[in-house]
A and B are shown apart, each in its own frame.
Chain A
């Protein structure tokens, strides 16, 4: 056990425990808030692993943007405040899901076990932001540009989906408004 191992274990246990709480809690809003704790401590994990820029982006994009979007969606869909049994499936279904989740964990552990069995500790390589930027805008520049296109497409698609749904809703409201009037006329 090196000091990095201890530091990683500390933040990793927090990340796993809050991840467990975020998928099991009955409070809908608490799930999103536990996700904040989990993603924040994962940023700590990245720092321990020497990836400072990834840790910063994790805090900025995940905790700052994605979780806010999730909370925003929870509020807009009138998430109930307080414990609610309706957010999870039936107990049988949950037991099956737990078995499958444990199966995924066991499978991955079995896959990684030959890699780490009796492996000596590796020297921790820090990735400096300048080296990362050099590679990102050199070797990886085309994937990077395609990703910016992907973000643009996602933005337009999100807008289009909400506009189409809004138009359908307006049509539905109009139908409901017109329907009683047609019923009344013959009488």
Chain B
């Protein structure tokens, strides 16, 4: 027997922390860390729904696995973009990223 209030509260807290991380960071890689926290909040919700029973086709668990896969794909592309920006501009500071990266050279 388990109360669902705990997982729901944890998901809400993680989503808030992730939002803060996305908005308050200047380093592009640290923004990605915030995005990971939001994705994990979604996963906690999915798994909690599955643990409560009553979902057909084990949907909560399968969708959590899909979210993890999509997060892996997203991170690989995002880090390639970050590294490309670093090679062109010499830094990955998002608050200075007002101009297209090619024109600053």
Contacts and interface: CB of A to CB of B under 8 A. Distances in A.
Interface in A69-94: 69-70, 72-74, 76-77, 79, 86-89, 93-94
B64 A54 contact: yes
Main secondary structure of the interface of B (DSSP, over half): helix
B65 to A, nearest CB: 6
Given A97-B24, A108-B15, A124 B44 contact: no
Contacts of A102: 16
Nearest to B22: A97
A74 B29 contact: yes
Contacts of B79: 69-70, 72-73, 158
A113 B85 CA distance: 43
Nearest to A28: B27
Interface string A107-139: 011001001100101111101000110011001
Given A15-B10, A150-B70, A162-B80, A8 B2 contact: yes
B70 A147 contact: yes
Contacts, number: 280
Contacts of B93: 86
Main secondary structure of the interface of A (DSSP, over half): helix
A105 B11 CA distance: 9
Contact of A168 (B6, B43, B102): B102
Contact of A89 (B18, B24, B37, B69): B24
Interface bracket on A:
35 or more
Contacts of B105: 172
A88 B21 CA distance: 9
Contacts of A31: 30, 33
Contact of B12 (A5, A38, A105): A105
Nearest to B75: A66
B83 A154 contact: no
15 contacts: A1-B3, A19-B13, A23-B20, A32-B33, A39-B40, A69-B79, A77-B29, A88-B24, A97-B19, A97-B23, A102-B16, A123-B53, A135-B62, A162-B83, A172-B88
